């Protein structure tokens, strides 16, 4: 081994310290220490190798140089030699060798450090080294030690950093960025100095930053990620601080460095944006994602000031907006739908969020406007930024609308197209994000240009500018925007209408290029301009059908839109709408709304006959095949995406990140738009959703359940940590997104109805709390929510969602009551706790649910009746409310229902709500709810229920003020409320499902009737004890109340079938109430000259005006009602002085003024006679019946004797009584040949009689038989019965045909013939108005069955032609109004045939024209002729011409000339 090798080996084994220690044999004296030190240095200088010495002096700490515990030891001297000795040794050796070589010391030191650095970082293979962006752990430790030694040399003036960098930069390998970072961190050489050294440093720095962003730390280097982050943040901080610090009057070199820093940052931002453009998965990250994380306010500090950071973010926004401005405005218009937030790269939205964090919304929009005015921009980036701003900042909408207003005002002031197109693009972009963030494009366009006060309304020039602008957009506009412009055109004055028509024509042509024909546009299409797949014409037609059927069902008429489309949009109507409407299906047994709509269109000749026949045949085939459609649920990818998004939403709700929450909701909204394509909404007013209460949930049940389940889970998660008033707005934001999808809202409403109505008791407590909160937030969002139209119509008109859902909460059984109570308690508690102050409680507490509690809590908790809401009971002070108002009240919802309900009842906030009108449960509402309770399943026993009802009626509501829904202490008001509620109650329209509905005997109707009886008895007893009162007060009060009810049912649309059915139901219900009240009540007495007499006027008026309208069959009161009235007359007469005489007077008055009661009494006499006789004998101690009743019995015997062909004298009775007796007796002689012969003989006898009384009997008899004939038209009967009725009418007519009296019964009072009817006018009060309207039909139906001889005799009868023309006019009007029954039965001698109404009308016209042509000109007076001509001119000009030509003055003159 050589000497040098041995020396080197020894040096490696023993350090300088050990060598010195070995040579110190004894401790030197204090005064010899300095000398020894100098001697040692001299010795080492003679034998030291410079490189080995540098390696030895480093002696680095092997621990991680980035650990915090080492941060304070950076400047400490290395172990081994003291700092002064190590530095002295190094500098001494450097000077010695430098003097030998003849070079400067600093040059030698730089060469030494650089050699050591290159050796340290160049030990690996070159390829592998180039792949390694950062140093290894061992290299990093050695480098830190080297740099510490270098700092020592620098402090002693033996090192030059700039020279070091120049030499390092000249190396064949470019420096590592981490080395630069360590030089900067050790304050040896700053990044700023490096940037000043060479212009090529910028490009090198960019490449190093890109490589470092894309580097991934190996598993064995745990500290690699921290090193990577420290290097990047340090370098970026220096670049930002150097490039964007405000420096007024900076020197040129500094300016050059500043621009270089900006260039490096711009290059990196461009690289980031290019990476997004090249990526095929815009939601993935990588190197670009790491770079974007550096844009953070944490850069503020030693590297950059806050102002520099703002300047950097502003500059970056500008660079992003203007980078690669490759999209023209036309491209932006066409491609804008693909740039919504949901379709934008997640990294790009993250960049915008980072850059916008230090600015307000106004500052951002102002800067955006400046960039748009001064630069060519990348429209994709600009519009994506706007979407991000709207999604993440809830206050952005008002600022954006203000910006759009400024842009439009500026555009129309200077006719600036730049501002115009900017405003339209920004408005459309906002509309893409849904109505929760910005109004739809159609709404914005209508608000901006839909009225005379729009931006274009100031002058014609402005209008031309707008239309020219819209026309220029046509070649590039997507179809949905063209539809907005066509269906919601800008306001144009009439004189400039042609300008708009030119644009509409151009837009329609462009739509045709898209193969989106205007004819295929929906009739009720809501063109919002929102992004999404266009609706296919077939789907649009189905939506139009659904809307048209819904309108027809609610109005009963074909909408004007459909009628116009059948004329002006006939191709769409025939090829799209009708095929969608006439889709074959299994028709229900009972006609539904769609069938009725189809039938109405067919009658209006809007459906071609062949198409309708094909539809009917296809439906029949469907019924024969009995095929049922099966809905197969499949796993749909959007549903899976929605499930993942909802889970992520739940996580974000728990974390409370509002910004990410808004972004996630935007993604959820986009997914929902795929699952639930928007349905058509009404063009005017609020959207209406139809709720089919009897229909099971739809096919979207899985999605709806997923949404509701997620909401409940989120609510439980946040409620564990925060009470409702401390929770964020996540629920309101979610509801806002859900309400933006009408089809989803419909599915949600149907599902909630099904849960509350059918599955309520089975819901768990968690579900109940979550759904209660959901309903509360629906109530808060009422202004955004669609209205709900219920089918069957439990409510008369569309109502808010929460009001409709409150109807699903039943209070009919014990089980339903408990669920309803628990749910409403949870909802009201949540609403009260959610509101921060009492003034906000109405916004959060649904009135319908609150009223349910006002009904249920006193019913189920008797102790609540002792503390009504109108009084301050114990324990309801403000202090207690303050103590348990929020946390205590909300926590009580998990207690038993009794505890939670009782605590809520005593809560101050709950009681304060009762002072508001909308939260007060009126007596009418209480009665309606109580009437629906099923007694057999009630929570209360019969005695408890009666006690509760008496408490509610007599204690709660009787004394309650009228303005609060009570009676104000008036017993009459209480009776009227009870009676109105009974008459309004209809079990057929109950909220119960069909299989659970009970008859009226199962409800509380008997109990409420008992309460009515008690109230009326109390009122009557009070009146009797009062000096001013009488028994008649109750009678007048009740009958007046019923009269008002019946009058309100007859409006201007009195011919509506629905109104008539409602009236009949009201009267039938009243009759049931009437029979439950004492008969004596309805026949009051009065004092006249000291005598007590019966007062039947009110009863007669009631029968004539109302009872006759509900008779079935027509013209006949029910037996029980007839008996009740007669019992009342007999019982009331007992209070008069001469009972029998008063009954006779009352019956005489009834015979003259109330023919319906007379005819009904005759009809039911066989059953009435025993009852009335028994009652009279009991009342009058065996006295015989009054004379008038005995006369009635005599008429019955006379009529029966005639039927039996036994001659007997005619009783001295009124003609109507005789006719009614004959009508009743002959009613049972059908098919009896002998009785038919006796009938003919009787008619001949009465017809040949000279007495006018006999003729009146025949006229009344004819009227009663014609009434039967009309009943056969309206209500189909057996064929033999119809034939016999027609023959009887013909027989009577034969006996009367020569007398003009029979014509009077066919003259309608509407024609002004009341004074002509005379004695026969009262008989019209027997039948309802419907029969009176149909008398013209009966007239011609009867005449057209007669022989020519009889018709000729009839034509010679005075007044026949006048009556015939009037009846024809009325018949024609009936036909035009569609009020004729069909088919009409025609009775021939040989057979019974049926005629359509049009056939009756046609034959009537022929008969009338023939009669006119055969009549003398003098048969009509001049006034009658002019009246008939004017009436026929509009309805039938042919008849009017015949009257004029045959009976006019000219025809009379010609006849005289001829004579």
Give pLDDT, residue 521. 67
| C-beta separation of 771 from 763 below 8 A | yes
Closest CA to 97 of 45, 154, 175: 45
Min mean pLDDT across 27-31, 311-315, 651-655, 1014-1018 is at: 27-31
pLDDT higher than threshold 70 for residue 1235: no
| C-beta separation of 717 from 649 below 8 A | no
Q: How is residue 1386 annotated by DSSP?
A: E
Per-residue confidence band for 1220, with pLDDT thresholds at 50, 70 and 90: very high
Q: State phi, psi for 552 to the nearest 5 degrees.
A: -65, -40
Region 641-666: mean pLDDT is 87
Per-residue confidence band for 932, with pLDDT thresholds at 50, 70 and 90: very high
Element (H, E) at 1395: strand 1392-1395
Region 637-653: mean pLDDT is 88
Q: How is residue 482 annotated by DSSP?
A: H
Region 479-489: mean pLDDT is 85
pLDDT higher than threshold 80 for residue 631: no
Region 1085-1103: mean pLDDT is 87
To which residue do tokens 């000259």 refer? 1089
Give pLDDT, residue 724. 86
DSSP for 1165-1193 reads: HHHHHHHHHHHHHHHTTTPPPPHHHHHHH
Per-residue confidence band for 675, with pLDDT thresholds at 50, 70 and 90: confident
| C-beta separation of 558 from 552 below 8 A | yes
Closest CA to 860 of 830, 924, 816: 816
Q: How far apart are CA 747 and CA 742, in angstroms?
A: 9
Region 364-374: mean pLDDT is 92
Separation in Å, CA 651 to CA 613, 647, 711, 715: 59, 6, 12, 12
Tokens of 854: 């006002």
Tokens of 560: 């004007």
Give pLDDT, residue 4. 36
Give pLDDT, residue 1458. 37
Give pLDDT, residue 755. 92
Closest CA to 915 of 964, 980, 877: 964
- Give 788's strand partners: 689, 799
Region 169-184: mean pLDDT is 77
Region 44-58: mean pLDDT is 53
Per-residue confidence band for 444, with pLDDT thresholds at 50, 70 and 90: very high
6 vs 369, residue with greater confidence: 369
Give pLDDT, residue 1316. 54
Separation in Å, CA 912 to CA 776, 834, 915: 19, 16, 6
Q: How far apart are CA 186 and CA 75, in angstroms?
A: 9
pLDDT higher than threshold 80 for residue 318: yes
Per-residue confidence band for 997, with pLDDT thresholds at 50, 70 and 90: very low
Q: How is residue 1079 annotated by DSSP?
A: G
- Give 1395's strand partners: 1384
Region 114-133: mean pLDDT is 64
Region 477-500: mean pLDDT is 86
Q: How far apart are CA 1269 and CA 1285, in angstroms?
A: 6
Q: How is residue 935 annotated by DSSP?
A: G
| C-beta separation of 61 from 130 below 8 A | no
pLDDT higher than threshold 90 for residue 1054: no
pLDDT tens for each residue of 850-868: 999 999 999 999 999 988 8
Per-residue confidence band for 887, with pLDDT thresholds at 50, 70 and 90: low
Per-residue confidence band for 66, with pLDDT thresholds at 50, 70 and 90: very low
Give pLDDT, residue 690. 83
73 vs 106, residue with greater confidence: 106
75 vs 480, residue with greater confidence: 480
- Give 1092's strand partners: 1087
1391 vs 145, residue with greater confidence: 145
Closest CA to 45 of 53, 55, 36: 53
Q: How far apart are CA 518 and CA 541, in angstroms?
A: 13
Q: How far apart are CA 936 and CA 945, in angstroms?
A: 12
Per-residue confidence band for 1183, with pLDDT thresholds at 50, 70 and 90: confident
Q: Is the peptide bond before 582 cis (omega within 30 degrees of 0)?
A: no
pLDDT higher than threshold 60 for residue 1152: yes
How many other C-beta atoms are found inside a 10 Å radius of the C-beta of residue 919? 21
Per-residue confidence band for 741, with pLDDT thresholds at 50, 70 and 90: confident
Q: How far apart are CA 24 and CA 547, in angstroms?
A: 109
Per-residue confidence band for 713, with pLDDT thresholds at 50, 70 and 90: very high
Compute the mean pLDDT over every residue in the chain, rounded to the nearest whole number. Answer: 80
pLDDT higher than threshold 60 for residue 419: yes
Region 326-345: mean pLDDT is 88
Q: How many residues appear in the chain?
A: 1459
Per-residue confidence band for 190, with pLDDT thresholds at 50, 70 and 90: confident
pLDDT tens for each residue of 522-574: 666 554 444 444 555 556 788 888 888 888 888 888 887 788 778 767 888 88
Give pLDDT, residue 828. 93
Separation in Å, CA 388 to CA 330, 364, 1261: 22, 12, 86
| C-beta separation of 1223 from 1265 below 8 A | yes
Region 1412-1418: mean pLDDT is 88
1033 vs 1009, residue with greater confidence: 1009
pLDDT higher than threshold 50 for residue 1310: yes
Give pLDDT, residue 1225. 87
Q: How far apart are CA 54 and CA 126, in angstroms?
A: 25
pLDDT tens for each residue of 1335-1351: 898 899 889 888 999 99
Tokens of 1372: 């024609």
To which residue do tokens 């005002």 refer? 409
Give pLDDT, residue 680. 43
pLDDT higher than threshold 90 for residue 1375: no
pLDDT higher than threshold 60 for residue 991: no
pLDDT tens for each residue of 202-214: 888 888 888 888 8
DSSP for 641-708 reads: HHHHHHHHHHHHHHHT-HHHHHHHHHHHHHHHHHHSPPPP--SSSS-EEEEETTSPP-TTHHHHHHHH
Give pLDDT, residue 626. 45
Min mean pLDDT across 159-163, 450-454, 596-600, 1224-1228 is at: 1224-1228
1232 vs 696, residue with greater confidence: 696
- Give 300's strand partners: 304
Tokens of 1156: 């319906």
pLDDT higher than threshold 70 for residue 606: yes
Closest CA to 277 of 178, 356, 176, 381: 381
Region 767-791: mean pLDDT is 90
Per-residue confidence band for 129, with pLDDT thresholds at 50, 70 and 90: very low
Min mean pLDDT across 93-107, 1005-1019, 1263-1277 is at: 93-107
What does the radius of gyration of the chain's CA atoms come to, in whole angstroms? 50
pLDDT higher than threshold 80 for residue 94: no
| C-beta separation of 427 from 446 below 8 A | no
pLDDT higher than threshold 60 for residue 1211: yes
- Give 1086's strand partners: 1093
Give pLDDT, residue 880. 40
């Amino acid at each position: 081994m050589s000497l040098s090798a041995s020396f080197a080996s020894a040096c490696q084994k023993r350090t300088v310290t050990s060598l010195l220690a070995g040579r110190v044999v004894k401790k030197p004296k204090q005064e010899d220490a300095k000398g020894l030190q100098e001697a040692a240095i001299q010795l080492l200088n003679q034998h030291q190798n410079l490189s080995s010495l540098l390696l030895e002096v480093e002696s680095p700490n092997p621990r991680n140089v980035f650990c915090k515990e080492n941060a304070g030891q950076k400047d400490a001297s290395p172990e081994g030699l003291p700092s002064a000795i190590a530095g002295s040794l190094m500098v001494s050796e450097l000077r010695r060798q430098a003097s030998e070589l003849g070079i400067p010391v600093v040059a030698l030191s730089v060469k030494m450090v650089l050699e050591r650095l290159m050796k340290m970082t160049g030990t690996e293979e070159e390829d592998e080294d180039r792949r390694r962006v950062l140093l290894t752990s061992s290299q990093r430790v050695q480098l830190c030690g080297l740099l510490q030694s270098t700092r020592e040399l620098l402090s002693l003036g033996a090192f030059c950093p700039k020279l070091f960098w120049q030499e390092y930069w000249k190396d064949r390998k470019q420096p590592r960025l981490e080395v630069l970072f360590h030089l900067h961190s050790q304050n040896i050489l700053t990044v700023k100095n490096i940037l000043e050294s060479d212009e090529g440093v910028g490009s090198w720095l960019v490449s190093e930053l890109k490589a470092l962003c894309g580097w991934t730390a190996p598993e064995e280097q745990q500290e690699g990620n921290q090193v990577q982050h420290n290097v990047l943040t340090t370098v970026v901080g220096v670049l930002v601080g150097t490039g964007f610090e405000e420096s007024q009057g900076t020197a040129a070199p500094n300016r050059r460095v500043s621009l270089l820093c900006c260039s490096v940052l711009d290059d990196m931002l461009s690289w980031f944006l290019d990476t997004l453009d090249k990526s095929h998965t815009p939601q993935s990250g990588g190197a670009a994602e790491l770079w974007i994380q550096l844009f953070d306010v944490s850069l503020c500090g030693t590297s950059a000031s806050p102002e520099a950071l703002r300047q950097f973010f502003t500059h970056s926004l500008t660079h992003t907006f203007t980078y690669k401005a490759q999209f023209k405005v036309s491209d932006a218009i066409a491609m804008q739908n693909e740039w919504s937030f949901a379709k934008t790269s997640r990294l790009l939205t993250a960049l915008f969020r980072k850059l916008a964090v230090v600015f307000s919304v106004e500052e951002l929009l102002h800067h955006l406007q400046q960039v748009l005015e001064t630069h060519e921009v990348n429209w994709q980036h600009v519009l994506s930024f706007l979407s991000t701003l709207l999604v993440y900042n809830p206050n952005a909408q008002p600022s954006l609308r203000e910006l759009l207003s400024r842009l439009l005002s500026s555009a129309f002031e200077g006719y600036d197209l730049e501002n115009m197109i900017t405003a339209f693009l920004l408005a459309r972009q906002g509309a893409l994000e849904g109505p929760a963030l910005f109004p739809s494009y159609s709404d914005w366009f209508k608000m901006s240009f839909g009225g005379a006060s729009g931006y274009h309304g100031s002058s014609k020039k402005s209008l031309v500018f707008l239309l020219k602008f819209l026309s220029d957009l046509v070649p590039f506009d997507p179809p949905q925007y063209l539809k907005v412009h066509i269906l919601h055109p800008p306001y144009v004055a009439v004189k400039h209408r042609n300008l708009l028509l030119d644009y509409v024509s151009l837009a329609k042509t462009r739509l045709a290029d898209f193969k989106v024909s205007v004819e295929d546009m929906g009739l009720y299409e809501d063109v919002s301009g929102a992004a999404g797949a266009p609706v296919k014409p077939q789907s649009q037609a189905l939506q139009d059908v659904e809307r048209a059927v819904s309108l027809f069902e609610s109005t009963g008429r074909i909408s004007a839109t459909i009628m116009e489309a059948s004329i002006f949009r006939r191709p769409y109507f025939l090829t799209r709408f009708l095929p969608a409407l006439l889709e074959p299906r299994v028709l229900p047994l009972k006609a539904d709304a769609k069938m009725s709509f189809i039938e109405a269109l067919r009658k209006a000749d809007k459906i071609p006959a062949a198409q309708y026949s094909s539809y009917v045949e296809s439906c029949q085939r469907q019924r024969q095949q009995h095929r049922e459609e099966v809905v197969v649920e499949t796993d749909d990818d959007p549903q899976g995406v929605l499930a993942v998004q909802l889970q992520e939403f739940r996580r974000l709700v728990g974390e409370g990140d509002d910004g990410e929450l808004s972004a996630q909701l935007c993604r959820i909204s986009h997914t929902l738009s795929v699952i639930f394509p928007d349905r058509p909404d009404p063009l005017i007013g609020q959207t209406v959703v139809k709720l089919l209460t009897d229909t099971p949930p739809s096919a979207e049940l899985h999605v709806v359940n997923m949404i509701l389940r997620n909401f409940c889970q989120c609510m439980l998660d946040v409620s564990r940590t925060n009470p409702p008033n401390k929770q964020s707005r996540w629920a309101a934001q979610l509801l806002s997104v859900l309400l933006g999808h009408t089809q989803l809202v419909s599915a949600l409403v149907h599902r909630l109805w099904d849960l509350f109505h059918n599955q309520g008791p089975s819901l768990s407590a968690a579900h109940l709390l979550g759904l209660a909160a959901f309903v509360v937030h629906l109530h808060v969002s009422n202004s955004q929510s669609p209205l709900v139209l219920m089918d069957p119509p439990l409510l008369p008109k569309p109502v808010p969602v929460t009001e409709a859902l409150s109807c699903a909460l039943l209070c009919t059984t014990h089980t339903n009551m408990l669920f309803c109570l628990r749910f409403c308690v949870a909802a009201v508690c949540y609403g009260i706790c959610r509101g921060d102050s009492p003034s906000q409680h109405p916004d959060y507490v649904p009135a319908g649910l609150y009223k349910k509690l006002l009904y249920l809590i006193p019913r189920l908790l008797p102790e609540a009746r002792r503390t009504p809401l109108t009084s301050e009971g114990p324990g309801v002070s403000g202090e207690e409310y303050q103590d348990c108002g929020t946390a205590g009240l909300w926590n009580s919802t998990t207690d038993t229902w009794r505890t939670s309900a009782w605590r809520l009842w005593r809560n101050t906030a709950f009681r304060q709500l009762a002072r508001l009108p909308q939260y007060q449960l009126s007596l009418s509402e209480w009665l309606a709810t109580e009437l629906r309770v099923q007694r057999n399943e009630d929570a209360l026993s019969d005695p408890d229920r009666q006690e509760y009802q008496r408490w509610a009626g007599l204690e709660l509501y009787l004394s309650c003020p009228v303005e609060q829904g009570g009676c104000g202490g008036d017993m009459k008001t209480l009776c009227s409320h009870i009676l109105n509620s009974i008459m309004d109650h209809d079990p057929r329209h109950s909220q119960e499902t069909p299989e659970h509905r009970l008859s009226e005997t199962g409800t509380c109707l008997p109990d409420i009737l008992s309460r009515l009886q008690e109230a009326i008895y109390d009122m009557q007893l009070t009146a009797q004890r009062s000096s001013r009162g009488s028994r008649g007060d109750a009678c007048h009060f009740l009958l007046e109340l019923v009269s008002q009810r019946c009058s309100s049912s007859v409006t201007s649309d009195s011919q509506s079938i629905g109104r008539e059915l409602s009236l009949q139901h009201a009267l039938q219900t009243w009759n049931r109430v009437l029979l439950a009240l004492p008969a004596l009540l309805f026949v009051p007495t009065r004092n006249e000259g000291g005598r007590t007499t019966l007062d039947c006027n009110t009863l007669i008026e009631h029968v004539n005006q109302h009872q006759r309208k509900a008779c079935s069959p027509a013209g006949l009161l029910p037996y029980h009602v007839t008996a009740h009235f007669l019992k009342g007359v007999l019982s009331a007469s007992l209070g008069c002085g001469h009972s029998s005489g008063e009954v006779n007077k009352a019956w005489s008055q009834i015979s003259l003024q109330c023919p319906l009661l007379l005819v009904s009494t005759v009809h039911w006499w066989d059953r009435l006679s025993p009852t009335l006789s028994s009652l009279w004998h009991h009342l009058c101690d065996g006295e015989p019946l009054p004379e008038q009743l005995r006369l009635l019995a005599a008429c019955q015997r006379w009529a029966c004797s005639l039927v039996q062909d036994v001659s007997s004298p005619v009783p001295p009775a009124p003609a109507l009584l005789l006719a009614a007796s004959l009508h009743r007796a002959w009613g049972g002689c059908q098919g009896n040949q002998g009785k038919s012969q006796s009938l003919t003989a009787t008619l001949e006898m009465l017809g040949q009689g000279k007495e006018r009384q006999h003729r009146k009997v025949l006229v009344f008899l004819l009227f009663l038989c014609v009434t039967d004939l009309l009943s056969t038209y309206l209500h189909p009967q057996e064929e033999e019965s119809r034939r016999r009725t027609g023959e009887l009418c013909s027989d009577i007519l034969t006996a009367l045909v020569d007398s003009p009296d029979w014509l009077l019964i066919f003259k309608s009072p509407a024609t002004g013939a009341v004074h002509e009817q005379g004695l026969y006018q009262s008989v019209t009060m027997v039948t309802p108005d419907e029969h009176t309207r149909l008398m013209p039909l009966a007239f011609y139906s009867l005449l057209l069955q007669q022989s020519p001889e009889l018709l000729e005799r009839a034509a010679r009868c005075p007044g026949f032609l006048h009556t015939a023309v009037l009846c024809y006019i009325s018949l024609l009007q009936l036909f035009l109004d569609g009020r004729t029954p069909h088919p009409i039965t025609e009775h021939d001698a040989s057979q019974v045939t049926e005629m359509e109404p049009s056939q009756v009308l046609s034959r009537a016209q022929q008969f009338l024209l023939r009669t006119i042509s055969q009549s003398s000109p003098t048969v009509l007076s001049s006034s009658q002729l002019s009246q008939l001509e004017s009436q026929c001119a509009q309805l039938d000009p042919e008849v009017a011409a015949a009257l004029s030509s045959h009976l006019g003055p000219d025809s009379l003159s010609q006849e005289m000339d001829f004579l």
